[in-house]
Amino acid sequence: MRTIFLSLMMMLAVTIDMAAQEMPDIQELRQKADAGDDEAMFRLGYCYHVGTGVDKDDIQAVKWYLEAAKKSNPKAYYELGNAHYWGEGTDRDEELAASYWNKAADKGYVKAQYRIAESYRNGTGVKRDDEEAARWFQKAAEANYAPAQYELACAYNFGDGVRKDYSEAAKWYRKAADLGYAPAQFNLGSLYDLGLGVKQDFKEAAHLYHLAAEQGNTDAQYNLGNCYYAGIGVEKDLKEAAFWWNKAASQGNKKAYKALKKL
């Protein structure tokens, strides 16, 4: 039931979307950074990282992140973790990456809490520890971060680092699903389908599959096709079944490809 939905976009997620902001005044940022302003140091580093207002230069980005980190700037810690994880502007070092994420997480930076939780879950840069992973996912989930809510729900769903509890899993899947997070919508739909942690409700399951399917989740597309094929939670409609199975099959879902042969 669990789907691992870590896209490269999420792995490369950065702290702020400066592209959506006004073009920064690089000279002013540099003056503030030289004067010891840690936020300016961080922003200047970010400008070098993405090439906003200056030529892209990861080495310069790391230099300014390090200066900001000396003043305990949590966003700088986070970006240094990313830099070491990917080896951008510095040596690739998973242990150092985890160390920086941990520092940012300790300061309440939500994305860092999520990343250090992933590190503990996967044993990347730290010794694998499902309980510690669940603890950090919980912190980020409580800050309304949908990916963390989803991972915490999965932990309760499968008993990873916490006692298995389908009701608690459903609660956290619901929170992430309400934020539009497709993997959570699919998994919550599965719980309604099976009556685990919630009262069995095929109509709600189909509704949740539909929400996730519209976002391109292939498992949801396949399950939604099944719903239409069998008339479970929706009116039976073989054209709709074929439509969603085709959607899933076109993205490489082998079960959907086999299902199409039934039509």
Which band of pLDDT confidence, cut at 50, 70 and 90, is reported for residue 12?
A: very low
pLDDT value, residue 22 = 62
In the chain, what is the straight-line distance between the N-terminal and C-terminal CA atoms, in Å?
25
pTM summary value:
0.89
In this structure, which long-range contacts are made by residues 90-96, counting pairs with CB atoms below 8 Å and at least 24 apart in sequence? 90/58, 90/59, 90/62, 93/125, 94/119, 94/124, 94/125, 95/125, 95/126, 96/125
Does residue 1 have a pLDDT over 60? Answer: no
Helix-, strand-, coil-residue percentages of the chain, each rounded to 5: 70, 0, 30
pLDDT digits (tens, 9 = 90+) for 19-53: 445 678 999 999 999 999 999 999 999 999 999 99
Average pLDDT, the chain: 93
CA angle 110, 111, 112 (to 5 degrees): 90
Task: Give the span between the Cα atoms of 206 and 134, in whole angstroms.
Answer: 29
pLDDT value, residue 33 = 97
Task: Give the span between the Cα atoms of 80 and 72, in whole angstroms.
Answer: 12
pLDDT value, residue 23 = 73
pLDDT digits (tens, 9 = 90+) for 79-104: 999 999 999 999 999 999 999 999 99
Structure-token match 């070491």, residue found: 84
